[in-house]
Every structure is written in C-alpha cells, then in structure tokens.
Structure 1
Amino acid sequence: MYTGTNEKLRNIVITNLHWMIEILTKVITVFTPMFEMKKAEDRKQLQKLWGKLSNEGVLEEMLLRYLWRNEDEDLFDVFVELMKVFCLLFEKTKEIKEANRIFLVSCRMKVDKKDILKVTADDTQTVSIYLTPTDFLSDAVYHTLVVAFLELMTEKGSDDSEVFRNRSDFKFSGHTLSLGSVKIYHEKEKPCALKLEISRWNKIDDERSDGKETEVSEPEPSVCMEVLSYLKEQLKTVCNIYEGIGYNLRVLCTACNPDEHHLIDLDECLKNDFVPCGRRIKAMDTARIKHLFSMSKLVWLFFNVVILTSYCSYKALIFTEFDDAYKVTDGIAVIRTVSTTWKEARTESGKYE
C-alpha cells in the first residue's frame, strides 16, 4: 500500500497489510488489554485512559504509545498518519506539546440515545440531505464524515462540536450541522441512511425583556452550498478508500406525507423546477431546494455586481475587498463579500439605487 498524496507517507510503502491491520486493531477492538505495569499507579492511570477511550472515544498519546509499545517507536507518527488517512482518527489538540496529544476515535464514541435523528419534514430554518446507499451503508462512511467535518470545523476556528457514534452536531457560521443515521421504513433491502441536517440559529431580539428568540430565518444559501460541496468531496474519498460503496444524495419529497419517507434525487431537484413524485399524480416544487443549493443565482448576482461596480465610484474599494477575500477563502464567500461591500457602497450613494 502506498499513499503518495500524503506528505508524511510519501516515502512509506506498506507491504504487509496484515501487520498494519493488527496495529490498527490494537486501538479498535472489543477486548480490554492486559496492562503489564510494575507500578500500580501507572497501571491505574492506563486503565483510566482505556475507560475514557471505551466510553468517550478519546485516546491520549500515553495510552496509544503503550498499545504500540512492541512496534518500532520511530514509526509511531506513521501509524498515526495512516489512521488519519483512513479517517479512523482525528487529532484534537495540535497546538500543544506532543506529550499531551489527544485523539478522537470516532468508531469508539458513546451512543446518543436521546437526540436521535429522524426522517421528518423540514421547517423554515432547516434543510436536510439524505445519503442513501446503492449497495450497503457501512459504519465507516459515518465515521469518515465525522472526522472530515471535525477537520473542517478546526479550519473554520470552531471547536464547539458534540460527537457520538450515531449522531454528531457541528457549529458552523451561525448554523448547526447535524449528521446521523436514520431508518427509511419503506426500504426493505436498504433501510439505513445518513441524514445531514442544516439548521440556522434563531436570532434573539435585544429589545425584548425576556430575551426570547423572535426571528426565524431560512439557512443561508452560501452555507448550504459550501456544506454540500464539502460533503461531495469527502464522499469521493470514501468511495476511493472503501471499495464497493456507492451512494445517492436525496431530499424528502414535499408532495408526499413525510411519514412515507419518500426521497427524491437531489440533482434532479437542482435541474428541474418540478420533479414528478412517482407515487401520485403530483410533482414536487423544487424552488426552495434550488434557492438553497443552486450556484446559478449566486453566479448571476456576482456578474451583475461586477458590472454595476464598474459604474460606481466605490469600485476601487470593492475590488480591493474582493482581492483580499480571494486570498483567504473560497468562491462562495468571495461572492458574499463582494455583494456585501456593494450594498454598503449603494447605501452611501443613492444615485446607484
């Protein structure tokens, strides 16, 4: 096995896959190891760390080094990187000294029995995508996506995530991304699916004395498109790593009763204004899905803003803003920055109304 795209593994070739599997299963196992330590204090500490791994999925470096104590110590970082490549491991604390490195093993996390995701109709502030398998849905797909979204949250500077074996919540740009398994009751052969729910936070009216949430808004299209793009990119990785795994991205049919769990292909919704239900002489109106996930409107807005700014005395300010944004973020955020700046310029100059 060779991973040429990973800088740390570029000069590493694994010729004995069984040996590599044995190393990985020392972490991912149902058996409790025998801690052969001379000092009782050290043994109790390792037992405590093992309990933390079993109950919370949190793995500390001290325990990991003990589990791999019979292997070449110089290969420790190689093993860690291999687990990251297969999305079995996520490093939580990268900025502190190596002796205190802490990892999250997603497949060993505890199960959330209270807040289980279900197939339900979306409300105003929520939109959901369902990942259904073409053959079977491996648990590895969920664990891979959890690690991928944790890495995305780290890049965005957000560390407020709740991660469980069956459901995880990530805070992202004023939204909560909820990922978890659901059951599709009408599917007999492939009843399991993954649900990705994007929920926008409610705004609190500062003028109200009780501080209650008063404004309910739809998810921001820029956030929805960024999440969908990232999801698709990560699913390509999943399909490359795990042979035989295929998937479809779908949304709940609004022409049917939500309890029927009828799902319609997402790409079809993005291509057409109406999609035939298939179960009734009805069609699903795709206006909301296209508004939240289609790039066409933002591209149209972008080019219109560029044209308008050519006649605007504030165009130097706007394009300076554009250049700075282009260096630090992606195309979706760039569009948002340009349009926001243009709105500020328009407010100051009424003749461009």
Structure 2
Amino acid sequence: MPKDDHYVIIGNGPAGNSAADTLRREDPEAKITIISDEKPLYYYKHRVPLYTVGGCQAEDLVIRPYRGYQEKRIRLRLGQRVEKVDPAEKVVYLRHMEKVHYTKLILAVGASARRLPTHAGFAEYLHCLAGFDDARMVRDAMEKASCLAVLGGDLTSMGFAREARKAGKEVVFVLYSSLFWPVSLKDEIQKNVTKRLTSLGVTVITDAEPVTDVRPEGEGFILILPDGAELSADLVFSFFGSVPNIRFLVGSGINTEKGVLVDHLMRSNHEDVYACGDCAQIYNPDLKDYWVSVGWGNAEAQGEITAMNLLGREKIIDYQPKEIFEMDGVTIRTSWWKSFA
C-alpha cells in the first residue's frame, strides 16, 4: 500500500532544512513540504551584514537552490505566511485561508528582531538585521551613509560593525551591557568586547542607559542619551537579540511561553506537532525547567533530532547546547538561559 504521510515544516532556516533532509533520508517515500513567509531561498544569515554593506550579492547568500529541493522531492513554498494552525484537524491555514493538511508538523519558524518597549516612540527610525528582507530594505541607504549608530549588542551586531568598518563607515556603538543577548556581559567580557570593537576603529559608549529619543535632522538623525548628550548618525541600527515567531499560534491550543513548549523529545502538548530551533523552549528534566538555545549549530542539531523523533526513533535532545560563542575574537561561554534578557 502506498504511504500517504505528509510532513509539513514551517520555517526555511537551519532547523527546518535539517529536519527536511533527515525526513527524506529516513523516509524516502513520504511527502515533505517546507512553508516559509520569507521569499528568499535558504541562506546564510551570518553573511547578512556583509550583504548589507554591499560586500556580496544576494545569490552569494544562498545555501541551496531550487533544484536541490527538487532533487530531494521536497516541496518548497516561499512567501507563504501561515495564519493559524489547527492541531485537532491537522490543518495549517495560509493567507486567504488556504488549507494544507499534514500528518506530522514541525514548527521551525525561527525568530524576529527584538525591539525594546522604551524605543516604541522612535522605532520607525531604527533598522534591524534579523534577516535578508531587513538588509535588502536598508542596503541602498547604506551606500550613501558615512556614519552609523548601533544600539544594544547581540551576536549579529559584532559582525555588522566589522563589515561596516571594512566598508569605510564610521560606527558609534552604544553598548547596552545588561541587555546584550543572549547573555548580559560581565565586566571582563565587556572589556574584551569593547577592546575588540575599538581595535576595529569603532567608537564605543559603554555602561549606557537606553537612548531616550531619536529624531530626524536633515538627512540623518540625532540620538539623545539620558544625560542629555547628543549623537548624530546617518542611519541607526537596533540589535537586541530576537523573539520567537509564535504569534500565529495564539488560539491553537499549542502551549507557548517565550517559545513553543516542547518536551525532551521536541514534542509539543499536541500529538504530531513538534518544534525546534530558535522558536522552541525545551524541557530539561534534570533542571525541571525549560531552556532556549540559539545559534546555527544548535538549530541544525535540533532539526535532525526532531525529525528522528517524529519518525518514532526516540532520540533525546542533548541537554548541553553548544556553550561557546565566538564573536569576532571574543569568546562568550554560556550554559542554559531561560529568558530573553
């Protein structure tokens, strides 16, 4: 009898692609569909800063062209936003309420740029670089800009500052040590980060309180610090980490907190619904609590393990996520983190 399994994966990043590849390898006959609201093909996110400053072209970011999916018989639906999920009926609803039926579902939707509530009054002037679309929108303006202001600090901001300096841009980095993501910077690490940025020619303002205002002036912007000091820049960027893309799950009955709550086998509270990557909060029975991991390597590993568990292999997620983050010569050691501080 022919199999009629349909594995649907929402998300076209490292977790989703790793899951799809594993499913195809382990179940050659199943139907596999990847749905993503992004239009670009699967791409290297760590190269987005380079693309933003004009150091490479869009095609240089692509990891796998369409033919790669065709060869593996994986259907790819890009630019298709999932509006809601109905686990009881095993249906994913796309925009205009198109229905996609599944037998097993993997949520690998990743995360979007985190914005501070205190920046709401001037958020329209702040650029984020959570993905290709963000970079594409600001790339032309970057050509004309000579001075950039960077607020916050996360894994992407270091690479962005480096590439901007290589492109000849002046960079002022307002380092929010207590809000650095995914972990707050301790004194020694903050010194190392500051030293590294300074060695790149970046002007660093440390121990800064949140900027109180950003207002247009001429063709650029003026930033106001709490002490009344002013900074000027042609463009202002915000780097405060990310938050999982889970708002479409409201009302689905799938348990969420900061991310999708899953057990040690990556299963949600609904049968046949799994989650992995940046959007998943994974239960650790030793800690008796949930943890969230970030990083490309963790996402790929979780995607593979999630796919194996979906197929009934019972592979337990490693409770020791990769603990070392290397950021432009600065090493940050982390273990578990349970909040997006």
Q: Shorter-normalised TM-score: what interval? A: under 0.3
Q: Which structure would you say has the larger RCO, counting Cα contacts within 8 Å and 6 or more residues apart?
A: 2
Q: Greater CA radius of gyration, 1 or 2?
A: 1
Greater share of helix: 1
